[in-house]
Structure 1
Amino acid sequence: MNHNPTEQNTSTQEQTKTIQSHYSYTEIIVWLEKKGVELYGNHFKILESDYPIIYKLIAYFLKDEATCFQYNINLNKGILLSGPVGCGKTSLMNLMKHLTATEHKFFVKPCRDISFEFIQDGYQIIHKYSKGKLYESEPKTICFDDLGTENNLKYYGNECNVMAEILLSRYDIFTAKKIQTHITTNLSASEIENVYGNRVRSRLREMINLIAFDKTILDKR
């Protein structure tokens, strides 16, 4: 299917030029692109077709209330960034760490790594990524990267959907302490429900803002 590039360009401009903010979003994108080149090499580029997604992420992580209101983004919730494989979700979330104020700092943790830790250390891993380590007083804001790439795992013969348990526990700390959770995934909402159950899907609705790339977007790798 051929897209008319001029049509796409105008719709991108329309979506971005309506923002009324005291931040210069175009300058922030230039800065983010430079940061991306530092982190990922000279091939890193922010495409204009991705601006509508990136503007939403910038608004959220800068806590730009007026712009978030225009985008219907709730600053009390976390972010679920969804999109096809290779569209740049992980690198964008890593870049957003550099925009985030100290009190909202988060770290990015691949779900596959958590699953390997679970095989090695068992159920304490669920505690580690939800309530916090036994010796730490506070849980932390985490971005669970690539939800859906981990598998159901057996620990001493017991099968456990590790990420489902962690997300349910993080819902509890979200309601009790307002600690946010961010997620990147290439799963759709119905796929999330199939893999993690309807309880997880309904909790996620309460915990996160959905920001989604178009399914037709090209793999940038």
Structure 2
Amino acid sequence: MNNSTKSNYNYPEIINRLEAKGIELYGNHFKIVETDHEIIYKLIAYFLKDEHACNQFNIHLEKGILLTGPIGCGKTSLMNLMKHTAPTGNKFSVKPCRDISFEFIQEGYPIIHKYSIGQLYHTEPRTYCFDDLGTENNLKYFGNECNVMAEILLSRYDLFISKKLKTHITTNLSATEIEKQYGNRVRSRLRQIVNLIAFDKSTPDKR
């Protein structure tokens, strides 16, 4: 991070704490490499609501996060670690898209409401990180095919407009691939509701 950035946070110290938490969660092999520090600085700035740093990184605090990168670069691990960084008002749940697709097979269309408007089980809309967008498939429920995540994301766009509800996403897909799989409407809505934070395509598999 640029030393001229005014911040009340010690980012290197926070990264050390995150690495220690990562070792606790994932084992002694876990390590935060220096080449990932800029990505992690951006995530820390966002989840701690560090306005000065976010302005430098062109991150809008009212939007969610779209974290993209190649397979194995650490997207899911980082978002799970950010749950331990985020203050109470910025909490979220990580939910694999494949799990949502399996729920849809079992329970049908109410699952779309569960992860969007929150009507299922009388729950309130929640902030989610939809993990590994693109790994789920279009599914059929009683013979009707449905692009489950496309419907959920479109509904959450409406919630962003009406209630400022945030949505976070991790994916291996490029913008073009997102449009191909979910349609131009979803791609357009995502531009409005998330900040793009992207690993370099050459980032090695850390697993």
Runs of 4+ in 1 over 3 A off after TM superposition: 15-20, 133-137
Map 1:146-185; keep pairs closer than 5 Å: 146-185=132-171
The 8 Å contact of residues 84 and 217 in structure 1, kept in 2 or not, is answered as yes
1:128 and 2:114 are equivalent in the alignment: yes
**Deviates further, 130-139 or 148-157:** 130-139
Instruction: Report what 2:79 is aligned to.
Output: 93
Q: What amino acid does structure 2 have at the position aligned with 1:52? A: E
SS at match of 2:122: coil
Unmatched tracts of structure 1, length 5 or more: 1-14
**Deviations 1:82-121, CA, capped at 9 Å, x for gaps:** 0000000000000000111112210000000000000110
Distance 1:155 1:135, change over 3 A: closer
Give, in whole Å, the separation in 2 of the partners of 1:118 and 1:199: 22
The 8 Å contact of residues 86 and 219 in structure 1, kept in 2 or not, is answered as yes
Give, in whole Å, the separation in 2 of the partners of 1:88 and 1:133: 33
Structure 1 position 21, deviation (Å): 1.3
Match of 1:188 among 149, 153, 174: 174
Root mean square deviation, CA, Å: 1.1
Match of 1:213 among 177, 199, 203: 199
Give, in whole Å, the separation in 2 of the partners of 1:85 and 1:134: 32
Larger radius of gyration: 1
Match of 2:103 among 117, 122, 136: 117
Unmatched tracts of structure 2, length 5 or more: none
Instruction: Report what 2:89 is aligned to.
Output: 103
SS at match of 1:145: strand
SS at match of 1:209: strand
Match of 1:143 among 118, 124, 129: 129
The 8 Å contact of residues 110 and 120 in structure 2, kept in 1 or not, is answered as no
**Deviations 1:180-208, CA, capped at 9 Å, x for gaps:** 00000000000000000000000000000
Structure 1 position 134, deviation (Å): 3.7
